[in-house]
Each structure stands twice: as C-alpha cells, then as structure tokens.
Structure 1
Amino acid sequence: MLGSDVEAIVVAEPDLGGYATVQELGARFVPIQGVSSTLHPMTHRRARTALAQLIAEERPDLVWAHARMAVHLSREIFYKPRTDGVRLAVSLHGLPFGPGHRSVLHHMSKTIETRHMLRAQPHHIHFLSQNDCTQYIGVTGPQSGRHRLHVLGTTSRRDISCLPALRDGADQTLRLIMTTRPGYQKNLQEAARIVAALEVPWKLELYGNGTDDPSLRHTFKRHLGAKVSQVAFRGPIHDVGAALNRADMYLMTSRYEGMAIGVHEAFEAGLPLALSAIPGNQLFLETNPYAAGLALGRPSDSAQKIQRLWLRAKADVHHRERINKIWRASFSPEIWGKQARQMVSEFLERPLSASLR
C-alpha cells in the first residue's frame, strides 16, 4: 500500500480488468487511449497530447514511464525544457534493438533511441541488467551521458511456496510448464519442435492469455501429430503457484525478454529452468544451479539438454528446496524492495540539470 504522503496516478489504456486492484493499492487510474504500442500516427499524436495535458494539470514530482509506447510519448513531451520541476524516469524492459527483434524494428529502434538521447531533457533511465545498460551506451553513444542510468532487476511478489505435488513413484513422465502467450516474441513453435524431439515420456502445460486458442493447438499439431494430446492448452491462470507445483521443469523459448516475472515465479517454486539462451535470461541461467540455456533453432540439442537436466534434478531429491533457497537469497522482494526504494529516492532528488548536456 502507498503511504498517506504519496499520491500515485496510473495512466494506461482503458481498463479491461487488469487494473482492478489499482485503487486498492491507493492509486488513481486514468485511461488514455493509445499509450500502448501503436504505429498509427494520429493515435500516437492524440495520446501524446492527452498525456501532456494530464502532466500539465497534475504537475507531478515524477513521471515514470514503463516500457513500450509510454516511454516514447513521455520522452517526446520532455523534448521541450520544463520550468515546473517535473522529473522524468523511464524503464526499459529489455532493449528494443537487442537480439531476437525483427530486423526493421531493430534498426528503427536504434534510430529512435539515439534521437531521444539527443533531444529529450536529461532524465533517469532504468535498465533491468548491467548488460542492457552497457549495450545501450554502446549503441546510443556519448549522448547517453546526459542522462542518469540505473540498474534494477525484477522479482516475484506472489510468495509462491515450494510444495511439489505428490506423484506416483512409478511415473517417470517429465512434466513441463510454460506461462506464456502466442506471438512472435514467445516463439511457441520452437517449444513444439523441442518437445517433439524429446526421447523421454513428457507432458506440457501451457498457461496464459491466448494459450487456449484453437490456432495454437493447430500449430503444435503440425509438429506433434497425435502427440498433441500430451499438451494441455489451459488459457488464463489464477493460481500460478499450484500449477508450478504440479510441474517438474519450466520451459521458455522466447526470442527476447526483459527479465521475465514468469521465470521468477518458477525459480521461486524451486523448478529447474530450461530457457532460451538470450540476454534477458542470462542472470537466471547463471544463478539457478539446475538450469539449461537453449540455443534457438536447434530443437534436438535443446531436447538433449532438457533430458540431461531432468536426470540431474531427479538424482537430487532436495533440488527444489535448494533452488527456492537460492532464489530467496538472490531475488526476494525484501532485497528488491530495498534496492527499488534507493533508486526511486534518486529519481526524486533535484531535477537533473540541463547543464548535463
């Protein structure tokens, strides 16, 4: 809950149910059409005008934009010098020009980010990893030095218990789980190719918006044939902890990620992790002792890695407790909260001077 001395306004697309708890947390919700990703110029212009008007009316101490179009809109509003003391911070959830992005968007994003560094008033930029921060500086050049850069990862706040569901001792089926959604980024056809190459008995459960869509089942059937019956297309999930506790391993095949909350939740539940070997997963792969990095486009190799990881995990009856303990020591909300408060206090220091140019 927010303290009585804090007033927060959450600006987003009109609510479809995802912001139902905002008021319970003590914040005010203001809908603005067009603050999510769009390439339509008129929608972009209307959203920027509405957001600029809201900032002028409210005169907040801090505007904090999180990812995607909100970052671009806010930076464009801050192209002009401000005399009202409003500070700007933006969070980049992964780099828009990192590995895995479509080529056109990759190059377009480099151009846009470099323009922001040159034209926007000095502001705070939050990255999820030091690797992202270093790469960003390399791409945008010395103009990034006009701004204040910060690194803070993510955490899970669900307080997921590490209580694996009981199973028949004779059942050696590998139970895989993905919390995901269809789309280019999540690359679920790669998951279908990987499980098709497995040589051990397996089951796969897919959770998340759109995972119960018939078109996704059709995609998997193209690769699996009759074995598609071993895949459960569950759709949206409300009790992710219970689903994770029924699984033996977490699978991710994304082309790119920031620092996925779904991986945190699986890590917290004590699951071995089979993750695409992308920059956003690097810290998870280094920290979890039962993790395998999967090279995308090599499903047979990935299947072999998963099988070796499964054998190693089965040989350690306490592996889930060990994994959970490491997650809590590395990523717990208590650790993250202390770091987050420090970062926000730096946001709220005196507005960055234009002399940083």
Structure 2
Amino acid sequence: MAVFGLDPGLVAVIFVILAVIVISVLLSFFPIMLWISALASGVRVGIITLFAMRLRRVVPSRIVNPLIKATKAGLGLSINQLESHFLAGGNVDRVVNALIAAQRANIPLPFERAAAIDLAGRDVLQAVQMSVNPKVIETPIVSAVAKDGIEVKVRARVTVRANIDRLVGGAGEDTIIARIGEGIVSTVGSSNSHKDVLENPDKISRTVLEKGLDAGTAFEILSIDIADVDVGKNIGAHLQTEQAEADKKIAQAKAEERRAMAVAQEQENKAKVVEMEARVVESESQVPLAMAEALRSGKLGVMDYLNMKNIEADTSMRSSLGDSTDPKNK
C-alpha cells in the first residue's frame, strides 16, 4: 500500500532514517549505556539526573565514572559533591584517585580538603603519593665564605614529605631551596676555617635541620644530606688585593695633588721674586734722577758726588776680590 503516492520501500527507508535520528538524539541527551553501567556497578543514579547534567553542561561520564570508582572503594561520595567540584573547575577523577590512594595508605583526607587542594592548583594525587614516598630535592651549588676568607661550595639533597594539612596556603619547593641555601651560607660563614666545614660536613646538616626551615611550607623536611663540598677561591686574599690596589691609587692621587701644590707654590715664589726684582730695577732707575735733582738744587755737592763714586768703586773692587769664581782671583 502506497503512502502519499510513494513507494512502500522508500517509505520504510525514510522511517528507518527518522528512527535512527530520534534514537541518536535521545542517546545524546540520555546516556543509556552510562546509566546501565552505573546500575551494574551498584551506583544509584537516575536517567533524569544524567539528562539534567547535559542541561547544566556537565559531561556525565566525568562524574559517573569517578563515582563508580569511589563507590567500589567504599568512599561513600555523593554525585552532588562530584558535580559541584566539576562545576567549580576541579579535576574530579584526580581527586577521587587521591582519596582512594589516601585511604589505602591510611592517610586521613576528607573530600572537602582534597577538593580545596585541587582547586588551589596543586596536584592532590601527587601530594598523597609524596606523603607515602618522600621526594628528594637537590639544591643548586651554594657558595659561602668561611671566616678565614676561603670560599666553600656546597650542594645538598633534601628529603621532604608532603604535608597534607598545609598544602593549601603553604609555600612550595622554591622556598625550601631558598631557606636551605640561607642556612648553608649562615653555617659556613660562622665557621672559623673552611677546614672545619670540610672535616665535618654533617655540621651543616644538623645546624640547618635544627632551624625548622619547613615552617609555613607544604612540606616536612625529613633529612638534609650534603652531597658535595668543594673549595673555591680565596675571597679574603682577593679582597685584600683589591683593597691594597685601591689604597695605592688613593696614595698616588694624594702624592700628585701635593706635587701640583708644590709646583704651584714654586711658580708663585718665582713670580714674587720677579716682581721684587722689577721693583728694585725701578727703584735703581730713580737714583740718577734723584742725584741730578740734588745737584741742581744744591743739596749734593760735587765733592760729595765724587766721594760716593769712590766708595762705589772701592766696594766693587772688594766684591770682585772676594768672588772666588772670578778668573782674575785665581
């Protein structure tokens, strides 16, 4: 019998296609296989709940599969807890795995704390694993100087265990490494000689470990082992050499300053001598004028003038006789 004048075979194909489309749409909104898998695992979840997850843009498999694992492990979690954590941006599967690992290791870890750790950006599963199997952190080479001025290079290995209670808000590995480096510098710096550090490297471990460097961090320090100790440069001698070089330059600068002052003083004295000689010459040039004026005015007689010339000649002769450098006196 034809429907709307169509061939019965064609009508059957259309019905099959429509049925497949309807079933596909229903299965996309109603995850039947996931619901059956949950029921087979003993997880009571309604098909309407799974449909509501679709409407809330929650992937049902990311909730139901972890819930199946939690139920099998006897954790007693609810679907609302897992869904709220998923909507908050958390990794539900990782949280459930961490809870199962903590239960097996007999570590008290409630779901709320695990969810808070996961939302804080930390790997809660790795934290649980680190609580069971401590992690070894190797510090970079730390350079410190003993009191004798010798540089000592130290590298340490720190064994830490995650502290579940301080994972939220606790400092990370970088803080541990920085504090260990500070402790090494302080311990080496308080040593009288670098030989004391080389002879007793465990002194560094004991001193640093006693300071409680894990306070406020997400880890608990179990041990600090010195992996390597090397002797570096003689920092004290290097500093003394630089200080001596600086003192030398300062002394040279001061000597140059004194020399310049001496040269300036010498030039000033020469200028004064030249000035005095000029004044003497000027004064001597006034003598003939004064004598001429005295002769004109009658204050000086001719005989007085001749007597003065005789005295000058006698004085000049006596000076020449007393001069040992004069060739005539030899």
Higher RCO (CA 8 Å, separation ≥ 6 residues): 1
* Larger-Rg structure: 2
For the superposition of Structure 1 and Structure 2, which TM-score range results when normalised by the shorter chain?
under 0.3
The structure richer in strand per residue is 1
TM-score in terms of structure 2 length: 0.19
The structure richer in helix per residue is 2
